[in-house]
């Protein structure tokens, strides 16, 4: 419990919204991300946890302290290890139907065993294989999560992964997962860029219909504006023009391209 409180930083962003941060760079700096952001929303009837983090230390005691005996729903924005690591602590996890099977099995994280950070020894008790939650439920695009006075709509935004989702609240908050964030966004290979751009365009159009939209990405800065989506759209659209500046990232089996605003990590596979 003490280790969990030291590891997670809990920020009360609003009366009903907590940001729970962990330092991804302290687990493995080779992923080129400093922070992972988890989000806890508390409605009048139930609460929602968006992502369960890297699974280094127990997350559930932190959540229990914040919500007490309130009913809790848990959603993964996608299936990558740094977002599903604490899934096994919770009875039931929701994820997009494209990735239900993926998180129903243990997640192999043996690549972390070579991290320069000693904290990865915490994974030895799992043999570097993150256990799944007991029950996995599938989500579809357009699904509404009802917390009472607070609702969120699921928006399927494949690209970063086949089942990546964003969540749009009825209070003008957009939780983008890894679909859009500052820092080092991980992108699929170039031939899939049109799908990525189409999803960003969809999100931009949705946000333009809202007043004072706030965006809460799963990495780095949060509480940002629509400019994140516009800048990322423009940056990805321009990658072809700076393709000769790419450098290899052998650990991620990808290309890195830095345009001064973003440091894109582009898959080779």
Which of 41, 264, 62, 81 shows the shortest CA–CA distance to 167? 41
64 within some domain: yes
123-160: pLDDT as tens digits: 999 999 999 999 999 999 999 999 999 999 999 999 99
Helices (DSSP H) in the chain: which residue ranges?
2-7, 60-67, 81-84, 100-103, 193-208, 227-237
221 within some domain: yes
Query: What's the pTM?
Result: 0.95
233 within some domain: no
How sure is the predictor about 210, in pLDDT bands with cuts at 50, 70 and 90? confident
Beta strands in 141-182 (DSSP E): 144-146, 151-156, 165-169, 173-177
29-81: pLDDT as tens digits: 999 999 999 999 999 999 999 999 999 999 999 999 999 999 999 999 999 99
Other beta carbons less than 10 A from residue 69's beta carbon: 6
94 within some domain: yes
121 within some domain: yes
182 within some domain: yes
144 within some domain: yes
d(CA 268, CA 188): 8
Query: Residue 139 belongs to what domain range?
Result: 2-226
**DSSP reduced 3-state for 97:** helix
Q: What is the mean pLDDT of residues 77-102?
A: 97
239-248: pLDDT as tens digits: 999 999 999 9
Number of domains in the chain: 1
How sure is the predictor about 203, in pLDDT bands with cuts at 50, 70 and 90? very high
d(CA 42, CA 148): 9
Judge contact between 24 and 108, C-beta under 8 A. Answer: no
Rounded to the nearest 5°, which phi and psi values hold at 95?
Answer: -155, 160
Which of 268, 228, 227 shows the shortest CA–CA distance to 246? 268
Q: Given this model, what pLDDT does residue 2 score?
A: 57
Q: Does pLDDT of 164 surpass 80? A: yes
Q: Given this model, what pLDDT does residue 1 score?
A: 54
CATH of the domain at 162: 3.60.15.10
d(CA 231, CA 179): 13
Average pLDDT, the chain: 95
Q: Does pLDDT of 217 surpass 60? A: yes
How sure is the predictor about 115, in pLDDT bands with cuts at 50, 70 and 90? very high
Question: Burial level of 217, CB count in 10 A (0-12/13-18/19+)?
Answer: buried
Q: Given this model, what pLDDT does residue 161 score?
A: 94
Q: Given this model, what pLDDT does residue 211 score?
A: 76
231 within some domain: no
């Amino acid at each position: 419990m003490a280790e969990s409180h030291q590891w997670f930083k809990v920020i009360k962003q609003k009366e009903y919204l907590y940001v729970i941060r962990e330092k991804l760079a302290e687990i493995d700096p080779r992923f080129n991300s400093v922070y992972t952001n988890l989000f806890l929303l508390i409605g009048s009837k139930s609460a929602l946890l968006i992502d369960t983090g890297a699974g280094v230390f127990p997350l559930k005691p932190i959540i229990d302290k914040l919500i007490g005996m309130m009913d809790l729903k848990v959603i993964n924005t996608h299936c990558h290890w740094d977002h599903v690591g604490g899934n096994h602590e919770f009875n039931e996890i929701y994820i997009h139907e494209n990735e239900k099977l993926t998180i129903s099995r243990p997640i192999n994280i043996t690549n972390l065993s070579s991290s320069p950070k000693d904290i990865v020894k915490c994974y030895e008790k799992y043999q570097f294989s993150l256990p799944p939650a007991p029950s996995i439920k599938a989500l579809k695009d357009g699904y509404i999560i009802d917390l009472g006075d607070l609702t969120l709509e699921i928006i399927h935004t494949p690209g970063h992964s086949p089942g990546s989702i964003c969540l749009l609240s009825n209070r003008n908050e957009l939780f983008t997962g890894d679909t859009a964030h500052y820092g080092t966004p991980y992108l699929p290979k170039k031939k899939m860029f049109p799908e990525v751009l189409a999803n960003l365009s969809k999100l931009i159009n949705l946000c333009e219909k809202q007043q004072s939209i706030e965006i809460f990405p799963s990495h780095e800065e949060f509480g940002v504006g629509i400019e994140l989506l516009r800048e990322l759209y423009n940056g990805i659209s321009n990658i072809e023009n700076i393709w000769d500046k790419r450098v290899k990232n052998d650990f991620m089996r990808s290309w890195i391209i830095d345009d001064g605003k973003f440091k894109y990590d582009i898959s080779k596979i």
